[in-house]
Amino acid sequence: MPRSTLTTPYTLLAAALFALSISACQPTTSDAYMSSTEDWSCQVQDSPFRYSACHINADVLGDKTDSPYALQLFWQQTDGSEPLLTFDNLVDALPAQQNLAFAMNAGMYNESYAPIGYTVIEGKEIRALNTKEGGGNFHLLPNGVLWWDKAGKVQISESNALNAQLKTGQAQPWYATQSGPMLVIDGEIHPQFNPDSTSLKFRNGAGVCSDGSIQLVNSNEPVSFYQFASLFRDDLKCPNALFLDGGIASALYAPSIDKHDKKEMGVIIGVVDTDN
């Protein structure tokens, strides 16, 4: 038999090892796993860094009798006496016919878990708009507000711009949460972010994106503000995005991808499915 046709255990092993080496060098899919419907999805991605993201299409939100989904903010127990604090408490507080599809910490809070920025829940102003200067991430200006009206149009507005709209009645938030800094402003990364920053933290934020979706993102590894903002602008195509919080406060509830952070927080943003 010619030498070139011999097949030995050694050549089989070498071929197997070569195949493994080739496959190891191939780009891996960025989806670790995904759950989706026609209207929303949650997924874990590995690039440009490891993160979890949930998005919902804007056209299924709002005051639509035929829509089973609602984007809402939650803060206190139904009797209004105590903050909800956890995703578990929120799930327990929902009516029996409602299901929490996914949720996230919606902004910064004080020692009593009360929001420190502008907050509106079902048309009721909980905290006034904060346009003051100060220290910390919240006051890394420009900061902004994630808000939507009763018709379900979701927007992220720079705080001073929204303040002007509130004064003229152009903006009538049904829900609103203020935080800072802005991550992306009309397609531009926040001017104070440093591409070479070594300040790396777990971070969560929200984006209103060009495909008509709202993205809620939680980094699964420490990243800089510039890295986090670049994700929204370059990968998720969100011309406007807002940092919500970070560090130990960064929290995500997405049972479809096995994410269920057991943390205490202030206001929570979540998508409720009533089609059960």
Residues 103-125: tens digit of each pLDDT: 999 999 999 999 999 999 999 99
The pLDDT of residue 253 is 98
Q: Which amino acid is at 191?
A: P
For residue 27, give every residue at least 6 positions away whose Cβ sits within 8 Å of its Cβ, in sequence order, or none.
none
Q: What is the dihedral of CA 113, 50, 217, 108, to 10 degrees?
A: 20
- Tens of pLDDT, residue by residue over 156-206, are 999 999 999 999 999 999 999 999 999 999 999 999 999 999 999 999 999
Q: For residue 5, which phi and psi values (nearest 5 degrees)? A: -100, 0
Q: Alpha-carbon distance 267 to 104, whole Å?
A: 9
Q: Give the integer Cα–Cα distance in Å for 214 and 168.
A: 26
Question: Could you give the percent of the chain with pLDDT greater than 70?
Answer: 84
Token digits of residue 189: 């990364």
- The HSE-up count of residue 213 (CA atoms within 13 Å, CB side) is 18
pTM listed for this prediction: 0.85
Q: CA–CA separation, 261 vs 53, rounded Å? A: 14
